[in-house]
Structure 1
Amino acid sequence: MNISVVIPLLNEEDSLTELHHWIANVMQSNGFSYEILFIDDGSTDQSWQTIETLQEKDNNVKGIRFLKNFGKSQALHAGFAKAKGDVIITMDADLQDNPDEIPDLYNMITKQGFDLVSGWKKKRYDNKLTKNLPSKLFNWAARKTSGVKLNDFNCGLKAYHQNVVKNIDVNGEMHRYIPVLAKNAGFSKIGEKVVKHQARKYGETKFGMDRFVNGFLDLITIWFLSRFGKRPMHLFGALGVIMFGLGLIFAIYLGIDKLFFNTTGRLITQRPPFYLALVTMILGSQFFVAGFLGEIILRQKSDKKRYLIKESLNLEAQAIK
């Protein structure tokens, strides 16, 4: 199969039929074999019923329905796990991503050898104050922190070689940083393509200003994980040794001063440096233990599921009854 199109969605019933027809026309006109995976992330409208109707008419349509809203990252994770295409395309369901970009994205993966190609909505139709300016600041920080030179980390329109999506773990709210996850996994050929952005035709955006706050927090998390995720002792252990060492130096100094230079008979516990030394040594010990525990936890494999699928369409999967 040439292409899998993975589309996470939440309450997008009005746009799904139009989006499906658009994607199908692009695929058929280019002679692609394809599948369209709609991942319903706990919609409360008629989105799932619309997906069922589309599947009855088109066997290329497949669907996964979450038991409740688990988030875009979990939806992408579920879609990636089921995708069978050589190239996986992700896009949003709100018609702001243009399916006409798919052939060029596919060629960049298959003919130019990119592992991942991210869309860049250079000209946007969003509110400049609430979206464009924070987005530019966010993308600048992401570039500086991760070393991945992309202009638009938030663009949902991306193309992946199958090897990428099968070897990265998208969890939490890390969907913004899939290029960084791919780079950390060893997929270094990451490209970017200017894509058309379209104004939202139906409904309202599901993301507010809080996504940028969460995005920056996730950026700190992914920086830490990329640097120390597999060796937490290198950070916490080093901090612990340094702080304990500083506290020990203070304690030795106070001891020598008490034994040889204290002429007033003042107790060590009456001197502020004593408490500084004590606190520093305690914190150093705690950092060291934190690093040690991190190493132990890292070696424990967790099989806990991050989402629950309520039902699926045209897929080999067990649904919750």
Structure 2
Amino acid sequence: MLCLSIVVPLLNEEESLPELSEWINRVAVANNLSYELIFIDDGSTDESWKVIESLSNKNAAVKGIKFQRNYGKSAALNEGFKAAQGNVIITMDADLQDSPDEIPALYAMVMNDGYDLVSGWKKKRYDNALTKNIPSKIYNSVTRRMSGIKLHDMNCGLKAYRKNVIKSIEVYSEMHRYIPVLAKWAGFRKVGEKVVEHRARKFGVSKFGLSRFVNGPLDLASIMFVGRYGKKPMQFFGLLGTIIFLIGFGVGGYLIVDKIISPENSLSNRPPFYIALTCIILGTMFFLTGFIAELIIRNAPDRNHYLIEQKLKL
């Protein structure tokens, strides 16, 4: 039985791949771990894929997936998760900033200590403070507060997962940053953390741009909403719509009563009238949105798909 799957997404990392592959093999052999190493080439324009083919010819444990174009790290991880067969899946970056020497301890925390997911914590970093470290601290603080998951480095690429975790979640858009949150909403609560070595980049340049500052918060909002209301949207839209509608109805009712008591007071020329009208319209729209969302879910093929941990006599 395969002990370990190591999933490595990459983009234009031809220089680092031979050293990374040899290092991982050395660690696995030394610790008697059967493994597969899955490289996912996310549309590289250099010779990365040829290097992967060469490494695979030399080592049967090396496997590869090549995207026709660049789809992003989340898509690469999702395909790697689909292909992984090991009992424990470890993800790491291809730029040699993650140390393969961390693999045995991460593996043991999942297999021996019972963690569903273990996230690395790069306590000492070699990244640029202004563009990476400070934004990372802010991002992690906000994510901890919103998700309730107490990790210092949510976006660390070095993570270990129990097999059923990665087979139970789907990673898309830019949601690789929030895999611990996705795992929590799927019902996997035992999340651990390990301080890991962060190495200075040896080859190439960082592939992450300014778009992460916009996409990251939007994806977090999506995860939080879908996690809470994905199977019961009416509870969100219906409640919000009802509150807004009642506010508008109450203000409108007050204006009508005031008009009846004091006919000289204008009804339509007063700002509260338009506020009330807007609230009634918005409330109705939110309520109808909830109905439409419920109809969509009712007709979805996976509407009654739930993760079952165990069954007894069934």
TM-score grouping bracket, smaller chain normalisation: over 0.9
After TM superposition, give the deviation of residue 126 of structure 1 in Å: 0.8
Q: Indicate whether 1:216 and 2:234 are aligned.
A: no
After TM superposition, give the deviation of residue 211 of structure 1 in Å: 1.5
- Contiguous gaps of at least 5 residues in structure 2: 303-314
Report what 2:289 is aligned to.
290
> What letter matches 2:259 in structure 1?
K
Superimposed CA distance per residue, residues 251-279 of structure 1 (whole angstroms, 9 cap, x where no aligned partner): 222222222321x2x55222322222111
Report what 1:159 is aligned to.
160
Q: Indicate whether 1:72 and 2:73 are aligned.
A: yes
> What letter matches 2:45 in structure 1?
T
Secondary structure at the aligned position of 2:64 is classed as strand
Report what 2:184 is aligned to.
183
After TM superposition, give the deviation of residue 30 of structure 1 in Å: 1.0
State whether residues 109 and 159 of structure 1, in contact with CA within 8 Å, keep that contact through their aligned partners in structure 2.
yes
After TM superposition, give the deviation of residue 249 of structure 1 in Å: 1.5
After TM superposition, give the deviation of residue 234 of structure 1 in Å: 1.4
**Higher relative contact order (CA closer than 8 Å, sequence separation 6+):** 1
Secondary structure at the aligned position of 2:39 is classed as strand
Aligned-partner Cα distance in 2 for 1:140–1:249: 40
Superimposed CA distance per residue, residues 68-93 of structure 1 (whole angstroms, 9 cap, x where no aligned partner): 11111111110000100000000000
Secondary structure at the aligned position of 1:13 is classed as coil
Secondary structure at the aligned position of 2:89 is classed as strand
Superimposed CA distance per residue, residues 52-79 of structure 1 (whole angstroms, 9 cap, x where no aligned partner): 1111111111111111111111111100
Secondary structure at the aligned position of 2:286 is classed as helix
Aligned-partner Cα distance in 1 for 2:198–2:139: 19
Superimposed CA distance per residue, residues 101-157 of structure 1 (whole angstroms, 9 cap, x where no aligned partner): 000000000000000000000011111121111111111111011000000011100
Alpha-carbon spacing, 1:5–1:235, altered in 2? closer, same or farther (3 Å): same
How does the TM-score come out when normalised to structure 1?
0.90
State whether residues 6 and 80 of structure 1, in contact with CA within 8 Å, keep that contact through their aligned partners in structure 2.
yes
Superimposed CA distance per residue, residues 139-193 of structure 1 (whole angstroms, 9 cap, x where no aligned partner): 1111011000000011100000001000111111100110111111111000000
After TM superposition, give the deviation of residue 227 of structure 1 in Å: 2.2
Secondary structure at the aligned position of 1:269 is classed as coil
> What letter matches 1:169 in structure 2?
E
> What letter matches 1:234 in structure 2?
Q
Q: Indicate whether 1:196 and 2:197 are aligned.
A: yes
> What letter matches 1:287 in structure 2?
F
How does the TM-score come out when normalised to structure 2?
0.92
> What letter matches 1:297 in structure 2?
I
Aligned-partner Cα distance in 2 for 1:204–1:236: 44
- Contiguous gaps of at least 5 residues in structure 1: 304-321
Aligned-partner Cα distance in 1 for 2:10–2:83: 16
Aligned-partner Cα distance in 2 for 1:215–1:86: 30
Report what 1:317 is aligned to.
none
Q: Indicate whether 1:40 and 2:41 are aligned.
A: yes
Aligned-partner Cα distance in 1 for 2:297–2:141: 31
Report what 2:50 is aligned to.
49
Aligned-partner Cα distance in 1 for 2:154–2:271: 49
State whether residues 106 and 159 of structure 1, in contact with CA within 8 Å, keep that contact through their aligned partners in structure 2.
yes
Aligned-partner Cα distance in 2 for 1:164–1:117: 11
Report what 1:146 is aligned to.
147
State whether residues 135 and 212 of structure 1, in contact with CA within 8 Å, keep that contact through their aligned partners in structure 2.
no
Aligned-partner Cα distance in 1 for 2:153–2:81: 21
Report what 2:255 is aligned to.
254
> What letter matches 1:82 in structure 2?
A
Cα RMSD (Å): 1.5
> What letter matches 1:33 in structure 2?
S
Superimposed CA distance per residue, residues 12-59 of structure 1 (whole angstroms, 9 cap, x where no aligned partner): 111111100000111111111110000111111111111111111111
State whether residues 40 and 63 of structure 1, in contact with CA within 8 Å, keep that contact through their aligned partners in structure 2.
yes
State whether residues 228 and 235 of structure 1, in contact with CA within 8 Å, keep that contact through their aligned partners in structure 2.
yes
After TM superposition, give the deviation of residue 302 of structure 1 in Å: 7.7
Aligned-partner Cα distance in 2 for 1:256–1:213: 47
> What letter matches 2:281 in structure 1?
I
Q: In percent, how many aligned pairs have the same letter?
A: 59
Aligned-partner Cα distance in 2 for 1:154–1:246: 41
